[in-house]
Structure 1
Amino acid sequence: MSGRPADTTLPWRGIGYVGVGAPDPAAWRTFATEVCGLVPAQVLPGPRPRGVPEPAPEARGIAPDGSLYLKMDARQWRIAVHPAEEPGLRYVGLELPGSGDVSRALDRLSAHGIEIRAGSEEECTARGVGHLAILNDPAGHRLELFATPLEDGEPDPSRGVGFLTGGLGMGHVVLFVSDLEGALDFYLRVLGFRRSDYMTFGPDASIHFLRCTPRHHSIALLKVGPASGLQHLMLEMRTLDQVGLALDRALAASIPIRSGLGRHRNDGTVSFYMQGPSGFDVEIGWDGRLVGDDWVDHEFTGEGDLWGHHGLTAESLESGED
């Protein structure tokens, strides 16, 4: 499978938001704010009551249905945690610049035989976006293509936490897939992503890193058996010190560390992995590689890290949501 698709006409802006389910969104609030450095949303997506609500501090970011909305930057929200008996991934939002791009995506994917529909006005309001299209990838992961999201200002800079977002998106996700060839065909040929590189680590086991912005990868596809779902979510800090401070906070809060600090060989990210409240891992990193159109897709072999990341093995990749 070539790393360069036949058509790259959709001007992706990376992952714009992620929605997960959790039996106890309050546990996510503590983890996200006190360890990762996010903040509760100031104004919730959805229908707005008359006036300017001033919720109590412990209720900030929490919607009437119990969903929790979290901010990283000027966007109204980036991560949503919905009450659910079974934890795990609910949806991934892929951003496009404008309404015309969402319409083109609808036409393009429909022409490829993909079942896709325009989001209703109520669904757009619930996400805080102006335009929305909804589909599933071949593994059953719900994708939401959107444009013109709401913004309500940057979080307080005195927190000393900053995330690298903007035109690169909010980070990356690693998705379990059982039909690797079908998933690669969908993301490369249909959506127009490019493969940066890939690694094979056993019979019928590999990981493929796909990009749609200069970020080395926004989505990685992980084939390690019949599993589907989210293996990990990565958030990128602006400085190395912010990563180290997040690791200190995780250790102080007794969060299980799945992989200690290290630097990946392929994308150069310095990061650590910890277990999140919904079963999948959360990676906090810095200094991820940016690539251009001249980057050549390739397989890399041997160790996956220049140093560190002890505990991150092929076997550990099989754990997480399924």
Structure 2
Amino acid sequence: MNEFAGSASVFGAVHLGYIAVRSNRIADWRRFGADAIGLHVDEIDGGALRFRLDDRECRFLIERGPAEDVTALGWQIDDHETFDRIIARVADRGVPIAEGTAEQAARRGVERLWRFAGPKGIAQEIFTVPVTTPEPLRMLSSGWVTGEAGLGHVAMVSREPEAMRGYYRTVFDSRLTDYIDENISGLRMKIRFLRVNERHHSIAIANIRGIKIDPLRTSVQHINIQSATLEDMLAAFGRVTESGFRMQWSVGQHTNDRELSFYCVTPSGFELEVGWNPLVIGPELESTWEPTTYRGISVWGHTPVGETVLGKFAQFRRALRNAGTPEITVPQLTGVPL
């Protein structure tokens, strides 16, 4: 339940709109997006790239910079009343909000945007009006599923999972869809899946139970996009392999949302999940939905590809280094009294 007295829920009026990335590997990103995944790619000023999946001018923005990471998540809000409600929630808790510049908005393919702090240092950007284009899509894929469900989902590993869950509940009235308990390389992992609309989840939050460690260099573990057809998803799998990009997890099917997918590694180091046909929680399912805990991430498949002992050791060393640095949680928005 949201803590803001008299504040109507914004659930269902929030949709993941775009992803912003900073990278100095622009040429690799172009080849990855166009030749491997099969997206439409446009070059814009400053050597940046934009990927299109539909009639929106921008779904992924890849700008030059050393972060090699996701730096912002763009959320489309259905109407100005809901937009103002979210702004008030953030401002009333003392979190600074800044309007994005005209250049930032133009590069992201939106009319206007506002920015505020998010978990793990990822800026949250909200907008109401995306810019569309009649320009035909030039891409290898036949199409992608966006619409009411939004672009896809974002998955993160957190040392403070309840704080992150509280953040998205406070700001967007996210609802808990389900949990997965999994044992990976001897570590017990719990994953929380949060929805803000009919998509099974727009945010996934994983943590290693009993130990506050994060083995990842990047703030995001993976980004998910949804193929229009099974043939598209399998063709992308083949192109990733043929193009020489690293596959992380083979094709498999998840236990909770039943999505068929594979995971590959982007030029910036976080993963991209390309999936097909996940469960949609429409009005009928929504009215009776109860969270469930699943044992294991996959019904079948999703086996690791090219995993090495040296790679695991590097992750373990990184986790130990990160342990001494507090995770960014934006405590004013976690729903916990300050």
Shorter chain as normaliser: what TM range? Answer: 0.7 to 0.9
Would you say how many aligned residue pairs link Structure 1 and Structure 2?
297
Task: Return the alpha-carbon distance in structure 2 between the equivalents of residues 124 and 218 of structure 1.
Answer: 22
**Cα pair distance change 1:233/1:264, threshold 3 Å:** same
Q: In structure 2, what is the equivalent of residue 254 of structure 1?
A: 244
Provide the rounded CA distance (Å) in 1 between the counterparts of 2:243 and 2:119: 38
Q: Pick the aligned partner of 2:121 from 105, 117, 140.
A: 140
1:141-180 pair list within 5 angstroms: 141-153=122-134, 155-156=136-137, 159-180=140-161
Determine the structure 2 residue equivalent to 1:87: 68
Partner of 1:267: 257
Identify the match of residue 195 of structure 2 among 186, 190, 211.
211
What do residues 160-205 of structure 1 show as CA deviations (whole Å, max 9, x unaligned)?
5200011111111112322212111111133211110112346784
Measured on the aligned residues, the alpha-carbon RMSD in Å equals: 2.7
Alpha-carbon distance between aligned partners in 2 of 1:283 and 1:266, rounded to the nearest angstrom? 16
Stretches of structure 2 lacking an aligned partner (at least 5 in a row): 323-338
Helix, strand or coil: the match of 1:139?
A: helix
Identical amino acids, percent of aligned pairs: 27
Residues 1:232 and 2:232 are matched in the alignment? no
CA distance in 2, matches of 1:34, 1:174: 24
**TM-score under structure 1 length normalisation:** 0.83
Amino acid at match of 1:282: L
2:171 to 175, 183, 190: 190
Q: Does 1:119 align with 2:120?
A: no
Q: Specify whether residues 20 and 281 from structure 1 end up closer, same or farther in structure 2 by C-alpha distance, changes over 3 A only.
A: same
Q: Secondary structure at the match of 1:210?
A: strand
Q: Which amino acid aligns with 2:134?
A: G
The answer for the alignment partner of 1:310 in structure 2 is 303
C-alpha contact (below 8 Å) 2:227/2:274 kept by paired residues: yes
Match of 2:83 in 1: 102
Q: Supply the distance in 2 between the matched residues of 1:20 and 1:234 (Cα, whole angstroms).
A: 14
Query: Following the alignment from structure 1 to structure 2, what is the Cα–Cα distance between the partners of residues 295 and 84?
Result: 46
| Mean CA deviation greater in 178-187 or 299-308 | 299-308
Query: For residues 295 and 242 of structure 1, do their structure 2 counterparts lie closer, same or farther at Cα, with a shift above 3 Å needed?
Result: farther
Gaps of 5+ in 1: 41-60
Is residue 221 of structure 1 aligned with residue 205 of structure 2? yes
Contact 2:38/2:139, CA 8 A, preserved across alignment: no
Give yes or no for contact 2:256–2:294 (8 Å, CA) kept in 1: no
Q: Does the CA-based 8 Å contact 1:106-1:118 persist in structure 2?
A: no
Letter in 2 for 1:248: G
Report deviation, 1:157: 7.5
Corresponding residue for residue 245 of structure 1: 235
SS in 1 for 2:144: coil
CA contact (8 A) 1:11 1:96 kept: no
What's the TM-score once normalised by structure 2's chain length?
0.79
- Describe the superposition over 1:136-176 as per-residue Cα deviations: whole angstroms up to 9, x where unpaired: 12332211011101000364488452000111111111123
